[in-house]
Chains A and B, each alone.
Chain A
Amino acid sequence: QPALTQPRSVSGSPGQSVTISCTGTRSDVGAYDYVSWYQHHPDKAPKLIIYDVSKRPSGVPDRFSGSKSGNTASLTISGLQADDEADYYCCSTGGAYDLSVVFGGGTKLTVL
């Protein structure tokens, strides 16, 4: 169950857009649409911001969007705001066979 691969850090200025990639394999990200993304501020519980690759839970602004191509999923945050500075994690099911779940290593977003 190797972790999904994410860049360790990304940065952008307020108002700009950033994209965080999440690379898995054809057994996890590439095989299923159970790809989710989480925003994690220090000392708070992680928050679900994208599920089923591209759906947003109620209350999550449409500045957050998700997509997938092959074995790589992506999270795009547009119109960056200071409060977007946080750690972001992708997550995927490992499949119906072993029912495993795997997270990415996390990406630190810095708003300059």
Chain B
Amino acid sequence: EVHLLESGGGLVQPGRSLRLSCAASGFVFDDYAMHWVRQGPGKGLEWVSGINWGGSTVAYADSVKGRFTISRDNARDSLSLQMTSLRAEDTALYFCTRDLRTEVTGELDYWGQGTLVTVSS
């Protein structure tokens, strides 16, 4: 059974950094692209970032470009999101998700339960 478990969320001050992690199990991790998607309070889903199967291709939403870095460790079946210069508007539930394919298409067939990031002083 596919399982995605996010961790690393919490309360952080504006301008500080935070690193999210996602532990994957139940499938061959390096057969799939992976993504982070977030949902702010009272808002809709927002795609944040994606990475292809091998990590050679990454993509970011304009709202996080230059501040967030996505990476993966296929040896450890894990996905990460390094978030820097955090802003109040980054406050959201962050989901780790699996793409249907090896390359980034945005078609996401499995989702974790999310980890909550709150940016506030």
Contact = CB atoms under 8 A, between A and B. Distances in A.
Interface of A: 1, 3, 34, 36, 38, 40, 45-48, 51-52, 57, 87, 89, 91-93, 98-106
Contacts of A36: 106-108
Contacts of B50: 99, 101
Interface string B32-71: 0001010000001111001000000111011000000000
A99 B107 CA distance: 12
B94 to A, nearest CB: 12
Contacts of A40: 45
A102 B58 CA distance: 15
Contacts of A104: 44
A98 B60 CA distance: 9
Contact of B106 (A57, A87, A91): A91
Interface bracket on B: 20 to 34
Contacts of B61: 1, 100
Given A93-B104, A98-B59, A48 B95 contact: no
A101 B57 CA distance: 14
Given A1-B62, A93-B105, A103 B111 contact: no
B109 interface: yes
Contact of B107 (A1, A52, A87): A52
* Secondary structure dominating the interface of A: strand
A55 to B, nearest CB: 9
B59 A92 contact: no
A99 B59 contact: yes
A93 B44 contact: no
A15 B107 CA distance: 29
26 contacts: A1-B61, A36-B108, A40-B45, A45-B95, A45-B112, A46-B37, A46-B95, A47-B111, A48-B108, A48-B109, A57-B109, A87-B44, A91-B106, A91-B107, A93-B106, A98-B59, A99-B50, A99-B58, A99-B104, A100-B61, A101-B35, A101-B50, A101-B104, A101-B106, A102-B106, A106-B44
Contacts of A52: 107
B46 A34 contact: no
A1 B47 CA distance: 10
